[in-house]
Amino acid sequence: MPASASSTPPLIELRNVTRTFGSAAAAVRALAGVDLEIKAGEFVAIMGPSGSGKSTAMNILGCLDAPTSGDHFFHGREVGRLPRDQRALIRRYFIGFVFQGFNLLPRTTALENVELPLIYREVPAAERHRLAARALEQVGLAHRGSHTSAELSGGQQQRVAIARAIVTAPELLLADEPTGNLDTRTSIEIMELLTGLNREHGITVIMVTHEPDIAAYARRVIRFVDGRIESDVLNREAA
């Protein structure tokens, strides 16, 4: 018989995770024992004041950093103790990243920017072009593939960044303040795009934001304070 949904392990799990920077009297404990489970297909917003630990938690979830102590599981496998090169492979094949600052190459076309993760995977050129064009179409920019970043608006640049993040069909998309540099109207467009990727394509989305109206798009909102999870609530209006 197939396993029940309740027996399916979470996509991500943190068990009593701590993260300390520095040592001795200069030590700063950014995470102070975090327990967290995120299932495949969830859309989660992480909030909290500066220094609360939310960005540190995001870096660990994205395998950009490792816990000082505790366990970090991805697909039921302990990944927090893996060496850097193996964590890099997890990022390359399973995780997409969207940042506040877009991080596009300025004199490179939108299509070429989207192709970058595929180059690291050594995907042949023709297949790279096809997949990048499809990703641009998913974000509504099929007609802007030949334009450089300097020729695109802020919202269009963020769409290119999202296309780059999803071109490898990741299971997990991590978005760090994805609307931080955008006006209100463009922010709504980007959030509707992320919501569609989550609902229509099943991509798990974890988003850091300090804006309550942006967090409202998520179906679950987690708030960090002083390196711990203060609250973890479902947003039924977004469900």
Tell me, what's the pLDDT at 87?
A: 95
- Is 60 exceeded by the pLDDT of residue 78? yes
Rg of the chain (C-alpha set): 18
Tell me, what's the pLDDT at 3?
A: 41
Tell me, what's the pLDDT at 1?
A: 36
Instruction: Tell me the H-state helices in 62-208.
Output: 84-94, 110-120, 125-138, 154-166, 184-201
Question: Mean of the per-residue pLDDT values for the chain?
Answer: 92
Tell me, what's the pLDDT at 239?
A: 52
DSSP label at residue 150: G
Instruction: Tell me the H-state helices in 7-83.
Output: 54-61
Q: What is the mean pLDDT of residues 137-159?
A: 93
| Residue closest to 31 by CA, chosen among 6, 48, 45, 9 | 48
Tell me if residue 22 falls in helix, strand or coil: coil
Residue keyed to tokens 């970090």: 72
pLDDT band at residue 11 using 50, 70 and 90 as cut-offs: very high
- Is 70 exceeded by the pLDDT of residue 80? yes
pTM: 0.91
- Is 70 exceeded by the pLDDT of residue 215? yes
Tell me, what's the pLDDT at 4?
A: 41
Identity of residue 61: L
Domains recognised in the chain with CATH numbers? 41-65+83-234 (3.40.50.300)
Identity of residue 108: T
pLDDT band at residue 151 using 50, 70 and 90 as cut-offs: very high
Tell me, what's the pLDDT at 7?
A: 62
Tokens of 105: 């190459």
DSSP label at residue 65: S
Tell me, what's the pLDDT at 237?
A: 78
Residue keyed to tokens 């099943």: 202
